[in-house]
Amino acid sequence: MKTETHNGVLTAMRSCVPVGIMLGLAALTARGEDVATGSSSNAASVATASVEAPTSPTAEVATPADPVVTDIIVLTVDKASLTAELRTYPEDPTKAQTLKSFRIAIGKAEGDKLVEGDNKTPEGVYFAQSHIPGMKLPEKYGAMAIPIDFPNPMDMIHKKTGHGIWLHGVDRDQRIEEAKVTEGCVAFYNSDIDRLGSWLKSHQGVVVIADDAGKLNDQAEVQAVKALTDDWMKAWQERRIDGYMAHYAEDFRFERHDVKSYRDYKDRVFKSYKEMTVAYDNLRVIVHPKYAVSFFNQDFRGDDRFVSIGRKTLYWEKQASGGWRIKREIFENRRFEQVKLTAAELALLSEPASGISSDKEKKAPNL
């Protein structure tokens, strides 16, 4: 792998992450849904599909030992105010709870990240990746790092470049006060990044970065994308190929498929099963000024020969006509799990920060 020195840290050529760490990071973008059906193209014609509505957890009587928070967790980064807010994100986002606000530092340059080395913090909807403990990091990243999946599928459409965008600590907490000091990452006080690690679970926590967080999640748009996601799922469950494909943008791509070949592929899949069920749960929708994302757990079963259980993420883009269409579709062989934390853990999150380091002798490198 070709390498370069990036502000004194050895990095992969297209990344500001040290090579040894980059080798340990891998994204799952496997197809993993109703696939592996090529050998079944001569299967019997379509029978009536079994349609299942979204499932909801059964309510239970709480006891003192039960978690007081059980939900999807979202961290919203507001670049304009230099704050990050940790919130629950229930299916009805109007019922979200704010858990804690944090002071942050961001990229040295203004605007959305476009190219490697532009020192800008990206804007969009991302997912936390595997955490990296401080003992495995160069000193400047502080107590912990939580990578995010930049560039995500929408970033790639727009040919954005760069890697190694993290939420991380700092070598000295005074660096946070300088505000715009990183190479594109979001930096936190070390005491805060430690707390975040318990909430933004690897491959579970959602990180939304915006220039102005007040422009996120317009409720009319959230409800519109949720209704479209439900309609897309119902068409899939009922194997209505025209209704299903009506939700895709004309320039949609999936692996080697354009929208036309994807339609042909899905039509063959639909017809390859005598019985087919698709169930889904934990549906959430986030609307960003740049695009919208709906994500959920799915359980696909075809006859007695194929089972796929995992999660699906749909990236939607608003068209010139005003409607939303799917631009990218990602399946992963893991499920979205709600975070469960107790009152004691909430209290720990609410404790005041441990304070700023008094070590003034240590030279602070560029972040």
Q: Is residue 254 pLDDT above 60, yes or no?
A: yes
What are the chain's domains? 38-52+217-338 (3.10.450.50), 67-214+340-349 (2.40.440.10)
Q: What is the mean pLDDT of residues 155-176?
A: 94
DSSP codes of every residue in 141-167: GTTEEEEB--S-HHHHHTT------EE
Q: What is the mean pLDDT of residues 157-161?
A: 96
Q: What is the mean pLDDT of residues 263-286?
A: 95
Dist. CA 179–CA 100, nearest whole Å = 19
Q: Is residue 50 pLDDT above 80, yes or no?
A: no
- 361 or 243, greater pLDDT: 243
pLDDT digits (tens, 9 = 90+) for 100-113: 999 999 999 999 99
Dist. CA 336–CA 95, nearest whole Å = 19
Q: What is the mean pLDDT of residues 330-353?
A: 81
Q: What is the mean pLDDT of residues 340-348?
A: 77
For position 263, what pLDDT does the model report?
97
Could you tell me the pTM of the whole model? 0.80
pLDDT digits (tens, 9 = 90+) for 221-234: 999 999 999 999 99
- Residue 325 pLDDT grade (very low, low, confident, very high; cuts 50, 70, 90): very high
Q: What is the mean pLDDT of residues 202-211?
A: 96
For position 21, what pLDDT does the model report?
46
pLDDT digits (tens, 9 = 90+) for 266-277: 999 999 999 999
Q: Using alpha carbons only, what angle is made at residue 314 by residues 312 and 315, rounded to the nearest 5 degrees?
A: 145
pLDDT digits (tens, 9 = 90+) for 26-46: 333 334 444 433 333 333 333
Query: Of 2-16, 63-77, 159-173, where does mean pLDDT reach its minimum?
Result: 2-16
- Residue 352 pLDDT grade (very low, low, confident, very high; cuts 50, 70, 90): low
For position 145, what pLDDT does the model report?
97
What does the mean pLDDT of the chain come to? Answer: 82
Contacts of the segment 115-118: beta carbons below 8 A, 24+ positions apart? 115/160, 115/161, 115/162, 116/14, 116/15, 116/161, 116/162, 116/163, 117/162, 117/183, 118/162, 118/184
Q: What is the mean pLDDT of residues 149-174?
A: 95
Region of residue 81 (left: phi > 0; alpha: psi -120 to 50; beta: else): alpha
For position 344, what pLDDT does the model report?
77
Q: What is the mean pLDDT of residues 328-340?
A: 93
Instruction: Compute the half-sphere exposure of residue 327: CA atoms within 13 Å on the CB side of its CA.
Output: 18
For position 304, what pLDDT does the model report?
87
For position 345, what pLDDT does the model report?
74
Q: What is the mean pLDDT of residues 316-323?
A: 93
